[in-house]
């Protein structure tokens, strides 16, 4: 590997020049305790099959956790008002801890048994809109007394029942809808649809994952533009300008003991360093009362003490468990609404898989991996509903953007991130402490991440003939409608009333989801407007998919772990499952076995070959 970073041959993890780097001296050798893959992308510090040292995995995992923190914390806080919990920060912290814990479980399931790409799993905004729509129904509107802080007794049985019966209703709807996602994934239906999905469908879908979020990211950053600009400046400085600067760090080795080495610190930890420095700057401004103390003043949310009550009330240790809020209940309106969110989540996830594979130097995900990934995401939503997060789980686009900044695509880093989420979910006070990161710091980070995600989506157009007026129309129209239609529907929800409540919810959720609108239009137009396969990019796209299926690396990246499918569970029946890895593509697909007989001269040249094919 020819990129800067940290690897060496000696047992004490040091090269002869005292540089802790990521250069690989040989093909596939284990250096610095790091197993480097010879096929890793040269632009990456660590490829998907590389294993950084355990201490780097922990810090990089914490960085991914911090990247997802804004979304993980935001979902429970957004739902809090409609769950009648706006005056109960302690219960809000319980929901935050629960979503941390479940996200950790789902991340480990996805990395080991799902699509096996380094994608973090967490709460999904696709479920927020239908959840709020359900809770806005007359039967679920919060009583007036819960809106008055002076009248709320958070420990009273009456108040506890008010919010718990609402979250139980969400639990039931999410658990039923998740079964639909599992069916679509494990049945192979999503993989079948992928043959009709090309770059002109993927590009607007991925781009519109982030483009519609400019308003929320801008609002968070606008809490204090100075703090947000500082965060953005630090991320750009570390990830772009200082990425090749070697920083002296103390190292302990078995041979050299304690000594000083050099390490590409800024390249590997740009987000973590930027967040820590920005938080420290906000802390200094808070203790010196430079930031305003009035909640209505500009910049108040940049203070580090605005969420102090959550930190002081949260317990040190709390273990979330399924059914902690009671037995889930089910309503038809809730199920239909969440199913609409499931559709949007699946479209986004398929786009995230392709974006992640490109960023980490992996082959494009084959159909069996996509089937398995969507199925495992459905299982994750089922677990999230059972645990009572009030939300489901999905692949986190923010962390796909983080892969582009850090250039660390190791799967083991995401395993560490999943373990960090599990720990944070069990230690309530530690998880609550992360919730004190000021809002403008999170907003600045999102502005950088969302920009990268949008660019990754557009990069799929390299396979398409963009000199074609047909393709320009499909992409441009899909993107523009993906922004315009949700904006209009959000402002005029009453104009889409059909008189059927469940249908109204489904229509509103779908039409307010930009990635669904843009992806759907791209799919329909690309498959109906006449155009050659080469013009549409499907020729190059299918060639990549075929190469992916047949390459030796695809089995390493997307095959199941622990020898499943190679040493164990190798029955021909399991190979018929649509989510089972195709280790020998031609043999599994055609259903024949081939025996090639070759004779060679002493120079190794083939004189003749014969192929016998048996059914």
pLDDT in tens, 148-163: 767 777 778 888 888 8
Helix (H, G, I), strand (E, B) or coil at 611: strand
Could you tell me what percent of the chain has a pLDDT over 70?
78
> Can you give the pLDDT at residue 509?
67
pLDDT above 60 for 63: yes
**N- to C-terminal Cα distance for the chain?**
43
- The encoded tokens of residue 592 equal 């024949």
Strand partners, 51: 35
Structure-derived torsion over alpha carbons of residues 205, 206, 209, 213, reported in degrees to the nearest 10: -120
Mark out the alpha helices in 89-213 (DSSP H runs): 89-113, 128-135, 157-186, 189-193, 199-210
Strand partners, 457: none
pLDDT above 80 for 349: yes
pLDDT band at 74 (very low <50, low <70, confident <90, very high): confident
Considering only CA atoms, which of 86, 174, 72, 98 is closest in space to residue 130? 174
Among 6-20, 27-41, 121-135, 471-485, top mean pLDDT goes to 471-485
Half-sphere exposure of 289 (CA within 13 A, CB side): 2
Rounded to whole angstroms, the Cα distance separating 528 from 532 reads 12
Mark out the alpha helices in 194-331 (DSSP H runs): 199-210, 214-221, 225-236, 265-268, 270-287, 308-313
Burial of 416 from C-beta contacts in 10 A (0-12 / 13-18 / 19+): buried
Strand partners, 252: 258
Rounded to whole angstroms, the Cα distance separating 119 from 48 reads 11
Strand partners, 253: 257
Helix (H, G, I), strand (E, B) or coil at 444: helix
pLDDT in tens, 273-322: 888 899 899 989 999 988 888 888 888 888 888 766 667 777 888 888 89
Rounded to whole angstroms, the Cα distance separating 164 from 160 reads 6
Considering only CA atoms, which of 75, 93, 106 is closest in space to residue 431? 93
């Amino acid at each position: 590997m020819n990129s800067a970073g940290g690897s060496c041959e000696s047992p004490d993890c040091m090269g002869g020049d005292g540089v802790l780097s990521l250069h690989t001296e040989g093909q596939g050798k284990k250096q610095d305790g790091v197993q480097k893959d010879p096929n890793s992308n040269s632009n990456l510090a660590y490829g998907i099959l590389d294993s950084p040292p355990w201490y780097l995995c922990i810090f990089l995992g914490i960085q991914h956790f911090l990247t997802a923190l804004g979304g993980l914390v935001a979902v429970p806080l957004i739902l809090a008002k409609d769950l009648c919990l706006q005056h109960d920060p302690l219960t809000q912290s319980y929901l935050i801890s629960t979503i941390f814990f479940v996200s950790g479980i789902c991340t480990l399931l996805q990395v080991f048994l799902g699509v096996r790409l380094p994608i973090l799993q967490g709460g999904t905004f696709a479920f927020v809109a239908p959840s709020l729509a359900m809770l806005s129904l007359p039967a679920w509107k919060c009583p007036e007394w819960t809106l008055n802080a002076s009248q709320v007794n958070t420990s009273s049985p009456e108040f506890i029942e008010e919010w718990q019966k609402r979250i139980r209703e969400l639990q039931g709807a999410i658990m039923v809808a998740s079964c639909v996602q599992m069916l679509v994934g494990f049945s192979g239906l999503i993989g079948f649809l992928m043959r009709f999905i090309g770059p002109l469908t993927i590009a607007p879908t991925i781009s519109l994952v982030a483009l519609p979020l400019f308003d929320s990211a801008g609002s968070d950053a606008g809490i204090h533009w100075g703090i947000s600009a500082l965060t953005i400046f630090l991320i750009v400085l570390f990830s772009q300008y200082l990425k090749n600067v070697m920083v002296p760090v103390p190292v302990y080795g078995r041979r050299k003991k304690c000594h000083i080495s050099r390490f590409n610190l800024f390249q590997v930890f740009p987000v973590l360093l930027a967040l820590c420095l920005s938080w420290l700057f906000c802390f200094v401004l808070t203790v010196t009362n430079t930031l305003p103390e009035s909640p209505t003043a500009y910049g108040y949310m940049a203070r580090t003490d605005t969420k102090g009550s959550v930190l002081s009330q949260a317990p040190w240790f709390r273990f979330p468990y399924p059914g902690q809020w009671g037995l889930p209940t089910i309503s038809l309106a809730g199920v239909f609404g969440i199913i609409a969110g499931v559709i949007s989540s699946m479209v986004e996830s398929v786009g995230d898989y392709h974006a992640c594979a490109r960023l980490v130097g992996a082959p494009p995900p084959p159909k069996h991996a996509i089937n398995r990934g969507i199925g495992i995401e459905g299982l994750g939503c089922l677990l999230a509903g059972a645990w009572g997060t009030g939300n489901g789980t999905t692949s986190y686009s923010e962390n796909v953007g983080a892969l582009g900044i850090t250039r660390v695509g190791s799967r083991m880093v995401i395993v560490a991130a999943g373990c960090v989420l599990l720990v944070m979910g069990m230690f309530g006070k530690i998880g609550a402490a992360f919730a004190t990161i000021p809002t403008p710091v999170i907003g600045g980070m999102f502005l950088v991440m969302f920009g990268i995600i949008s660019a990754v989506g557009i990069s799929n157009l390299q396979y398409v003939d963009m000199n074609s007026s047909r393709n320009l129309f499909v992409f441009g129209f899909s993107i523009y409608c993906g922004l315009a239609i949700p904006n209009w529907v959000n402002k005029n929800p009453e104009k889409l009333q059909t008189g059927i409540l469940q249908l109204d919810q489904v229509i509103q959720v779908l039409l307010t989801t930009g990635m669904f609108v843009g992806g759907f239009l791209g799919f329909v137009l690309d498959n109906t407007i006449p155009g050659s396969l080469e013009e549409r990019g499907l020729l190059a796209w299918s060639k990549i998919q075929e190469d992916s299926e047949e390459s030796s690396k695809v089995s390493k990246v997307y095959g199941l772990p622990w020898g499943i499918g190679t040493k164990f569970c190798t029955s021909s029946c399991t190979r018929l499952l649509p989510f089972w890895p195709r280790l020998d593509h031609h043999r599994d697909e055609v259903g024949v076995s081939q025996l090639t007989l070759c004779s060679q001269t002493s120079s190794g040249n083939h004189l003749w070959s014969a192929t016998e094919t048996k059914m």
